[in-house]
Amino acid sequence: MKKILWFTYVVFTFGHLNAQEFKLGDVSSIELEEKYSSVDSSANAAYLLNKGKLSVYYNSVYGWGYEIEVLARIKIYNKEGYDSGTVEIPLYIGGGNNNKEEISKLKAITYNLDGKKIIKSKVNKKNISYSQTKYGWENAVFTFPNLREGSVLEYMYTIRSPYFTVLPEWKFQQTIPTKESIYEFNFPKIFGYNERFKGYQKIKKDVKDIPNYNVGSYLYGNGMRFIYKATNVPEIAKESFVNNYDNYISSVQHELAVAKITNDGKLADLLTSWDKVAKELDESKNFGKQLRNTRYFKKNLDTLATDHLSEMEKIEVIFNLIKEKVTWNKRIGISCSDVLDIVYEEGTGNVADMNIMLTSMLNYIGLDADPVILSTINNGFPPSIPSTHFYNYIVSSVTLEDGSEIFLDVSDPNAAPNVLPTRCLNFMGIKFLKNLRTKKVDLFPNYISKENNFMNLEVDENGIIIGKVRRQFTKQTAYIFRQKYRDLDKEQYLEKLENTFNISIHEYDCKNLNTPNKPILETISFTSNDKQDVINNKIFLSPLLFFTTTTNPFKEEVEDRQLPLNFTFPKSTKYAITIEYPEGFEVDYIPNKINDLILDKRFSYNSEIKAVNDKKLQIMVNQNINTSILEVDYYAEVKDFFDTIVKNEAEKIVLTKK
């Protein structure tokens, strides 16, 4: 697990990295003459330098805040790199007048070589525009003048921000290669910051004390300086089976962990450990207080006789009760929107409202339930720093009498007991126990989600196939099915199905679409529009018909893939097919049996075709991916594995007229 996830290699350099100066104009003719990037010779543009200096300080207008100075130098190698000549700097302005981020000292210059002479063209102030494209955000936007193949671009700016608790992420890695990236972080010692690294690049780090750290209006004594440096960083590569690229961009980010505010001599500890986080959440009125609040449902539950029920039945009862009373308002988060009495009364709530409600009700009827916070796939990896900041979702976890643990999300109408929405299957969550301790829990499913297909086909001598298929989707595959099709008009869905499988549907039935704790059962009777080849009195039959895997999902050329392979959940796919062929034909050829296993059974594929009698064939195919995530070391093997599947499924059965 560790190998898969955390990766950044930090080297301490003890005094080799120095404090940074910020001024434009340090462009040499060597840089202007450079024809290829030394990081990646195929690059269209590259950062020669990207550096930032962030200092935390005190301001008389809005109190504590930070200032970040940024300077970037970009080389354009050819016209395809001109996109890097336009720069957008986002500023958060949604916090009201005194809490706006402000940009200043924005300067930008294009450098070109005219013979031996360096020609400078400045970006005119009036050509810098500010637009609010997203609510709460403003972008400073400008483009460099006189762009040519070979130009070097430089810009710098300073942003002042009041948001000093969670500092911006410094990205060493960009969409173009970076020759050198330096980030300096200065802060007074009255604060302690957690440090969060991401990505696979080697980062050098240096730590220094700063005596007499100047924080602005007041002098707060000693400070600290961290300097980070990365060199020759390649661009971010796009690869398949990665569910969130942001997880892998090489970066560092800091979050405030301890603070000793001294203006009245008091010491205040912010969050330092999960135990402290747990204590704080327990006292919070939007979490712990609501978790202990039983008054709004007491009467309802006291009249329910649940004692004779099994644990799972009890869960079912509470699940249905909440679903009946409260509708999810599609919002996610980790704190309750209001006191739960009101949520219960009004009948709508967010994820936290509903799952905290679920947890306390389950505890009330005697089960052992605890809340679990997690970070959804789109939100990125949950870091190991003890802080709720990076988390955005709550579910409930129940420990059953046999010691096993199941997860529940009552908010999403397509989720079922132990089948969380797919977006929640992101490594690990933090469980808050009743004794105010915390525990890390693995969110990857410990069950296998199945897709089973049972199909009976009849082929006639013209190669026309009629058939009936029964499809079964369980757990995650059923969740995804419901998510996609539950709201879709039936006719629209059938048209889509007919066109995807190239069939005409005679009869269709779908069971349990609105009962998420049961598998989806779909039955389709059809005629295939994909006529099988008949050549020289031979029928060439495609054994899996429309279920044939025709392309390898890993088709891109990646020489040295770095990112792990994320399959999100363990899955098995099964095809059991019988084919009845016409009188007067016999089997001429059937593809060979395949029995392929790799990676200690974490991946397997079996395929076998055999004759049942003189007019019937049976085809069995099983494909299992028994893991959610796989180390990148297995990339080549997995790619070959899929090649085998594609090759095997392309083979045909040959029937000959006797």
Partner 1 sequence: MHKKLTILFAFFFCTKAYFQNFDYQSLVLDEHLTEKANSCIRKSSTLITIEAQDKVIEQHTQVITVFNKYGNKDVDAFLHYDKNVIVKKLEAIVYDKLGKEIKKIKKSDFRDVSAVDGGTLYSDSRVYYMDYTPLDYPYTVEFTYETKNSNTAFIKPWFPIQNYYQSVASSKFEIIDNSDSKIRHHKSNFDFTEGVSIEESEGRIICTANNLHAIKYEDYSPTRSVYVPQVWFALTKFTLEGVDGQASNWQEMGKWQYEELISGRDKVSGETKREILLLTSGVDDPIEKAKIVYKYVQDNTRYISVQVGIGGWQPILAEDVDKVKYGDCKGLTNYTKALLKIAGVDSNYTIVSAGPEKDDLNKDFASMQGNHVILQIPMDNENIWLECTNQDVPFGFIGTGTDDRNVLVVNQTGGKIERTLVYEPEDNYQKIESKITILENGAIQGIAHVTSLGTQFGQKFSFEKQSDKDAIKRYKSYYSHLKSLNIEKFDFDRDDNEIKFEENFRFTADNYCSKFGNRFILVPNVLNQVLSIPDKYKNRMTPFVVSRGFFDEDEIEFAFPETFNIESTPKPINIESKYGRYSSSFEVNTDGKLLYKRSMLLNDGEYTKEEYADFRAFLISVNKADQSKVVLNNKT
* Site residues for partner 1 per CB under 8 A: 42, 78-80, 82, 85-86, 121, 127, 129, 131-135, 141-143, 145-148, 327, 329-331, 348, 487-489, 491-492, 495, 498-499, 502, 531, 533, 535-536, 540, 550-551, 555-557, 588-589, 643, 646-647, 650-652, 654
Least gap, CB of 147 to partner 1 (angstroms) = 6
Least gap, CB of 125 to partner 1 (angstroms) = 14
Least gap, CB of 121 to partner 1 (angstroms) = 8
**Beta carbon nearer to partner 1, 110 or 624:** 110
CB 153 within 8 A of CB 117: no
Query: To 5 degrees, how large is the angle CA 327–CA 332–CA 338?
Result: 65
**Beta carbon nearer to partner 1, 106 or 362:** 106
Cα 461 to Cα 537: distance, rounded to the nearest angstrom: 9
> How far is residue 225 from each of residues 56, 188, 334, 340, 549, measured CA to CA in Å?
11, 9, 33, 45, 55
Cα 545 to Cα 112: distance, rounded to the nearest angstrom: 61
**Beta carbon nearer to partner 1, 21 or 495:** 495
Least gap, CB of 44 to partner 1 (angstroms) = 9
**Beta carbon nearer to partner 1, 264 or 557:** 557
Cα 267 to Cα 277: distance, rounded to the nearest angstrom: 18
CB 157 within 8 A of CB 22: no
Closest CA to 647 of 556, 543, 550, 573: 550
Residues paired with residue 195 on neighbouring β-strands, in sequence order: 254
Least gap, CB of 35 to partner 1 (angstroms) = 15
**Beta carbon nearer to partner 1, 309 or 505:** 505
Neighbouring CB atoms inside 10 A of 268's CB total 10
Q: What are the E-state strand segments in 355-499? A: 368-374, 393-399, 405-408, 428-432, 438-442, 449-459, 465-473
**Beta carbon nearer to partner 1, 470 or 652:** 652
Least gap, CB of 175 to partner 1 (angstroms) = 15
Least gap, CB of 563 to partner 1 (angstroms) = 17
**Beta carbon nearer to partner 1, 16 or 238:** 238
**Beta carbon nearer to partner 1, 46 or 256:** 46
> How far is residue 244 from each of residues 134, 240, 445, 492, 625, measured CA to CA in Å?
22, 11, 19, 31, 20
Cα 129 to Cα 87: distance, rounded to the nearest angstrom: 11
Cα 374 to Cα 394: distance, rounded to the nearest angstrom: 6
| DSSP state at residue 225 | E
**Beta carbon nearer to partner 1, 437 or 531:** 531
Using only the alpha carbons of the chain, give its radius of gyration. Answer: 31
**Beta carbon nearer to partner 1, 508 or 540:** 540
**Beta carbon nearer to partner 1, 60 or 500:** 500
Least gap, CB of 425 to partner 1 (angstroms) = 22
Q: What are the E-state strand segments in 512-634? A: 520-528, 533-535, 538-541, 565-566, 571-580, 585-589, 594-598, 603-613, 616-625, 629-630
CB 106 within 8 A of CB 91: no
Least gap, CB of 621 to partner 1 (angstroms) = 18
Closest CA to 433 of 326, 306, 282: 282
Least gap, CB of 490 to partner 1 (angstroms) = 11
Least gap, CB of 82 to partner 1 (angstroms) = 5
Cα 145 to Cα 153: distance, rounded to the nearest angstrom: 10
